[in-house]
Structure 1
């Protein structure tokens, strides 16, 4: 039995993204898909005393309307990485586990450069998985052959990866053709993002819809107790 999930990479995703990674045996970053503006690929939210704030990686999009996420380049001269780190530090330095998380997160922002968005997203995703003890194999969609058809491509990726079950996000229910997976003898299941408990959080009313860094800064290793598939 092998479970596989396939999702586009996001910038410092929320905790549900990492629970999906932890729930499967292989997680395929689906960055051969078209880059979409004002989406989660290059931005996410943090909490501040003034409310929720976006952190956005500036990327090159002018005249590149059909580029894939994989092809999307970061604006090298924007100074975004140091600016993002400064913002994180300003808003989370009072958090109980800021120093612990900063020890491995700060160097990613300040001591290395990534030309492509996919590369930066994967670097952060893998670092967070490492901290949480998530051992799921992470691969790229371009490690495999890609066929035509929205559902057909997903099912074929699963087949190439040797999957017996495909775990999908619930938002895909509107377009996935379940018969395509059935024909491949691959079970299709839907991930449930509901029912997360609250945790100690800075700055006013609690919200789940923020980057997982909020959970890590506030809870450290006990962050696992506030997740579904990541356990001590």
Structure 2
């Protein structure tokens, strides 16, 4: 059984879902440490003026480490209003915006309490919209030893998920640079690396821009999106 693991990024890009599609079990690593200026709370969409960052202004205590699942969303929902308006403004004329936008409208009008919950809702919705059948679970569902580091923690999670193969990512949103291959071999777990070549699909505005949030693909290609993942 192939297991892949990834942190719950905000509005993930296509490579995130490509990794998921190639797996039998996809583990949302919500117990991972929150990192500033990563993709945990931000991503990009396409506009007439090029890529635009959508960033959630989360409060992060820099004096100690916080897990992604412990990061609270701002009580002020102005950010959510801005993100919804940005999606409307830049995707309203795409072929499939009307079909898929109600989910995002409702989510941004009534966001959950934590960043991890928000990201998971988006991930699960896009997984279904893309027709991906992979089983998705959270790392926090398992009784894992969070004191373990890097490869040891991954192996612990893979075993909890009953996997015998680990699919390691090499995408735009980071890669498992800390992989210790010898430890996987000793644990009896096969190691595979994701092969992802970014596809070209229909987009609005000017030339094609890769590495946008996956909603860019969904709003432009609809049910056909799965053929690009």
Range of TM-score over shorter length: over 0.9
What is the CA deviation profile of residues 193-228 of structure 1, one whole-angstrom value per residue up to 9, with x for unaligned ones?
22x33111112121111001111111111112222x
**Residue in 2 aligned with 1:70?**
69
**Residue in 2 aligned with 1:15?**
14
Q: Which whole-Å CA distance do the structure 1 matches of 2:214 and 2:177 have between them?
A: 27
What is the CA deviation profile of residues 23-60 of structure 1, one whole-angstrom value per residue up to 9, with x for unaligned ones?
11111111212111111001000011111100011211
**Residue in 1 aligned with 2:195?**
192
**Residue in 2 aligned with 1:230?**
none
What is the CA deviation profile of residues 117-173 of structure 1, one whole-angstrom value per residue up to 9, with x for unaligned ones?
000000000011111121222111111233313111101111121101000112545
CA displacement at 1:64 relative to structure 2: 5.3
The structure 1 segments of at least 4 consecutive aligned residues displaced by more than 6 Å after TM superposition are none
Counting only pairs closer than 5 Å after superposition, residues 4-153 of structure 1 correspond to structure 2 as: 4-63=3-62, 65-110=64-109, 112-147=110-145, 148-153=148-153
TM-score (norm 1): 0.91
What is the CA deviation profile of residues 79-125 of structure 1, one whole-angstrom value per residue up to 9, with x for unaligned ones?
22222111100011111111111133322222x22110000000000
Gap change, CA 1:29 and 1:104, over 3 Å in 2: same
Contact residue 95 and residue 202 of structure 1 kept, 8 A: yes
Contact residue 131 and residue 226 of structure 2 kept, 8 A: no
Q: Which whole-Å CA distance do the structure 1 matches of 2:23 and 2:62 have between them?
A: 37
Unmatched segments (≥5 aa) in structure 1: 228-232
Task: State which of 195, 203, 206 in structure 1 corresponds to 2:205.
Answer: 203
CA displacement at 1:10 relative to structure 2: 0.4
- Root-mean-square deviation (CA, aligned residues, Å) is 1.5
TM-score (norm 2): 0.92
Q: Which whole-Å CA distance do the structure 2 matches of 1:13 and 1:173 have between them?
A: 17
Q: Which whole-Å CA distance do the structure 2 matches of 1:63 and 1:226 have between them?
A: 39
Unmatched segments (≥5 aa) in structure 2: none
